């Protein structure tokens, strides 16, 4: 399937209308970048990103595994969490390895969860990665088809660059590309 700018508009509208997490997700996209940049957030705000990453699958991710991951992250030293998030908030579009390493090293985190923190810290610069996102981006680019579970920093970098080129070609933001990817990969509807 070849994505078009027109299809992106329809997928984004469908995402806004039908995705159950959209309202709270959009609120976080609007508030977390500033909060993470200024340090004006609490433990629950950081935990929300981890919860969002797994709960967006709406039951397709095993509950017991999800709860274990969430509990491990909730028990993390909050100062370490804050330091890692500060790196994400300050990361440049091309220099983010220290941030992704620090975030991925937190208890209950990995590179895909780290990418979620980057995406909520700077939604215009970064995009979350997971198997569903990788599948769609690889189908539209020269990215290898097989999802590396989890990706390395180099593989995330390749995915990010492919996503940025795709967003440019489709005349959309990375956030809109994510919403499109989620609708496409869920097989919920065609534009």
**Max Cα–Cα distance, the chain, nearest Å:** 45
Tell me which DSSP letter residue 141 carries. Answer: S
In this prediction, residue 189 carries a pLDDT of 53
Average pLDDT, the chain: 95
In this prediction, residue 190 carries a pLDDT of 55
User: How far apart are alpha carbons 76 and 39 in whole angstroms?
Assistant: 17
Alpha helical stretches, state H, the chain: 5-18, 22-38, 43-55, 63-74, 78-90, 97-104, 111-121, 131-139, 153-169, 174-185
Q: Does 188 score more than 80 pLDDT?
A: no
In this prediction, residue 191 carries a pLDDT of 55
17-29: b (≥16 Cβ within 10 Å) or e: eebeeeeebeebb
User: How far apart are alpha carbons 145 and 7 in whole angstroms?
Assistant: 22
- Write down the domain spans for the chain: 5-185
Nearest to 128 by CA among 143, 112, 105, 141: 112
* Out of 2-11, 53-62, 70-79, least confident range: 53-62
pLDDT tens by residue, 97-124 = 999 999 999 999 999 999 999 999 999 9
In this prediction, residue 59 carries a pLDDT of 80
Q: Does 14 score more than 90 pLDDT?
A: yes
Q: How far is CA 158 from the centre of its chain?
A: 15
pTM to 2 decimals?
0.95
If you average pLDDT over residues 158-183, what whole number do you get?
98
Q: How far is CA 186 from the centre of its chain?
A: 16
């Amino acid at each position: 399937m070849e994505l078009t700018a027109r299809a992106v508009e329809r997928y984004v509208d469908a995402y806004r209308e039908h995705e159950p997490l959209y309202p709270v997700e959009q609120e976080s996209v609007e508030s977390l970048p500033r909060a993470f940049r200024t340090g004006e957030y609490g433990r629950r705000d950081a935990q929300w990103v981890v919860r969002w990453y797994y709960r967006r699958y709406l039951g397709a991710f095993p509950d017991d595994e999800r709860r274990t991951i969430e509990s491990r992250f909730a028990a993390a030293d909050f100062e370490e969490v804050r330091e890692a998030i500060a790196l994400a908030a300050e990361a440049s579009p091309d220099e983010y390895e220290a941030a992704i390493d620090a975030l991925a090293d937190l208890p209950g985190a990995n590179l895909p969860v780290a990418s979620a923190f980057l995406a909520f810290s700077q939604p215009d610069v970064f995009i979350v990665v997971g198997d569903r996102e990788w599948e769609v981006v690889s189908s539209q680019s020269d990215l290898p088809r097989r999802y590396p579970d989890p990706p390395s920093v180099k593989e995330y970098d390749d995915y990010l660059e492919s996503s940025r080129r795709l967003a440019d070609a489709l005349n959309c933001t990375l956030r809109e590309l994510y919403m499109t990817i989620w609708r496409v990969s869920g097989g919920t509807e065609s534009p």
